[in-house]
Every structure is written in C-alpha cells, then in structure tokens.
Amino acid sequence: MQPQSSRFRAVLTGATAFTLAAALAACGSTDGGNKGDSAKAGAGKGEATATGSSSASAASSAPGSSAPGSSGSGSSAPGSSGSSAPGSPAAGSTSAAAAPVPAAGSGKVLMPTGPQAAFGKARDTAAGQIMMTTLTGPKSGVSGKVWVWLPPEYNDPKYAKTGFPVLTLYAGGQSAGYNTWTDNQLPIQEVDADLAKQGKAHPFIMIMPVQNLDSNEAKALECADIPGQPKIGTWMAEDIPDFVRANFRTVKGRDGWGLMGASTGAFCSVKLALQHPDKFKAAVPIDGYFNPDSPLWKGYENDRQANSPDLLVTQGKADVRVLATAGGANAYEIKLVKAWVAKAAAPLTVEYYEQPGGKHLTTDFKKMIPDTLQWLTKNLAGPQSD
C-alpha cells in the first residue's frame, strides 16, 4: 500500500487547469473515511482526481451550472418527483444473467434484449425504489451485487418507447457488498428526479455495482483484471453494460453512457472511461487517485501500468470528457489532481473543479451531486425516442 500522500488525492490539472469558483449547494451527511464513503468499510485510502486536457474549457461557476434547459447550479436537497415505483423486469430474486450487446440498428433507442434479470427491492426513496440483483457475468465469471434505480419518467406511459442515458456510480472504500450511492448518505436519486423536473438534468438510469469481492483492502481489485484474480474489470466494462441493455431501454451508442465515483470509485470511473472510450463518453472522478497500488499487482508491473490512469491520461487515445475534482481544504489533494490534469493529451477533454473548503468526506461529496449531475447532462446525450 502506498503512503497516504501518494494515494490521498489527485494531482492538479495539466494543459488547461482551471478553478471553478462557485460553492456547491450545502447538504448534511455523515463523514467518510480517507478512502471514500462514509459509513461503510472506510479504510484509509483517500484519493483525488485530476483534469487536464488539451481542450478543456474554463468556467467561472460550479460544474454543470449551464445544464440544458436551465441556468444556475442545482440546489442541495431536492424533494423527489417520482412516486411510482420503477418498473423492473422481474421482482424478488437476487440473481441475473446478462445478454450479449445487440447489433445497432438505425434508430436511437435500444429496447431491452433480454433475458430479464430478477430484482428484489433494496429500499424505497422519495424518488422511487432502488432494486438489487446479483449479476453473474458470462464474460468475466464474476458474481456481484448490482443496484439499479430507474427515474420516474421510465415508467411513465409517455416514455414507453424512450431510451434513457445510463450513469454508473462507484463508491469509495472497498465497496465489497455495498455501494454508498444506494443509501441516504448520497441521495443522488432524489436530486436527479428533482433536477429532471426542472429541466436541469437528464433522468438517468443509475447503476451501482460493488467494486470488490472482499472487504480486505489488501485484496483490492481496483476495477481491473489483475492476473490470477477475479476479472472484475471485464465484469464492469463488459458484463454490466450488457446486463443494462438486456433489461432496460437505453440510448444506442456510447453517447448516453457516463461514469462517476468518489475516492476509490473516482479511480474506477476515470480508469474505465480512459480504457473504454468506445463504451463511455464522460466520467466524473470526485477526489480520486490515479496510480494503482493494490498489493495484488506485485509481479505484474506491466499490467499495473496498463491500468494506470496516470499513464492512460497521457496517451492521447481516449476521446472522452472528464470533470476531475479536488477538495479545496486539502493542499495535497489539490496538487495531486492538478498534476494529473496537466498530463492530459487530446482528444481527451478534462475540466478541473476545486470545491471551496471541500474535504475528503461523504458530506462534501454530497454537496457536489447537483452540479456533477448537471455537468453530466451537458456532456451526455439525454433520453431519445425514435
């Protein structure tokens, strides 16, 4: 495990680094440990992300403040709009199988291809139900929990032939058996439902998978196919998107697919986006790190480097958009993220946001939800219909 300094936050932006000034809407929450999420398994891996890109553009307001349909950044703890439970394929069970990605047709909408997974209810939110299933990936062989939230619009008859954008959310900490985006510490579902009602954010299908299969940090898989270990990287990049397309109405192509995560989840989100620009268009790494440091990489340095965002950002291969954030109260994190951003090579586009007074806490991650959703809305395709 690297010393805290190397994994605590991300380096600053590169070619075009810029500080976005406005403070984000305030919300209360519980603290998170250094490693990311607050209440769960919080061992000490704080991280940071960076943005830098040859074509990043500066902004004077909080990220996402110019989301389509409205101006200004989202407010903090919105009330929810959806009272109808999200429609799910089947209900009750906790195992699911994924289907291959179907061939693209001429339309914009990809209808579910099946087979349908069986879902159980994880919990109710003011914006509708969060469902859960266990996905055994046919390509990876990995079996892990996946939570799903469908926006209220998904079950509205007016949208019966509409495909929706997909946002995959990664938690901090080990995220073995849990994902903090599914509980009330990070109420992103309610925020999205409220912003969608106002025309400030897309109604996203939200996918929230586990990131590890063991709570022991020494067995961290880092969202990668580490030799000799479960192929969690394939599970995340191949099996989960196949599973989503099998079960839900989505937007064809990569333009409606985004990733976001905090702390260790930030690492996952930006790594997967840089490795798979054919599948994902945008990523928001919140207070992440960029250098893989799991002990499981020992003896596999070439593989480790191939999964390092610190190197991937320099290669000029990924035409994706990234918003990297750092907490303004942590000088090390700011330096780390800015340094990473400075390495970004076109066609990658990276924006940097420094949260005023922000710390590596779930309470501060929560405050960024409205603005990150609006940034994603600006950079991803919205619902489509044929």
109 touches 386 (CB < 8 A)? yes
- Tens digits of residue pLDDT in 311-362: 999 999 999 999 999 999 999 999 999 999 999 999 999 999 999 999 999 9
Q: What is the mean pLDDT of residues 1-18?
A: 33
How far is residue 32's CA from residue 47's CA, in Å, rounded to a whole number? 12
How far is residue 27's CA from residue 32's CA, in Å, rounded to a whole number? 14
One-character DSSP codes across 204-252:
-EEEEE-S-S-S-GGG--TTS--TTS--HHHIIIIIHHHHHHHHS-EES
Which residues, 6+ apart, have CB-to-CB distance to 299 below 8 Å? none
183 touches 360 (CB < 8 A)? no
Domain positions in the chain:
4-385
155 touches 84 (CB < 8 A)? yes
50 touches 340 (CB < 8 A)? yes
pTM exceeding the 0.85 threshold for the entire prediction: no
- Tens digits of residue pLDDT in 256-275: 999 999 999 999 999 999 99
Q: State whether CATH 3.40.50.1820 applies to domain 4-385.
A: yes
Parallel/antiparallel/unpaired status of strands 118-125 and 162-163: unpaired
**In this predicted structure, which of 89-93, 236-240, 361-365 has the lowest mean pLDDT?**
89-93
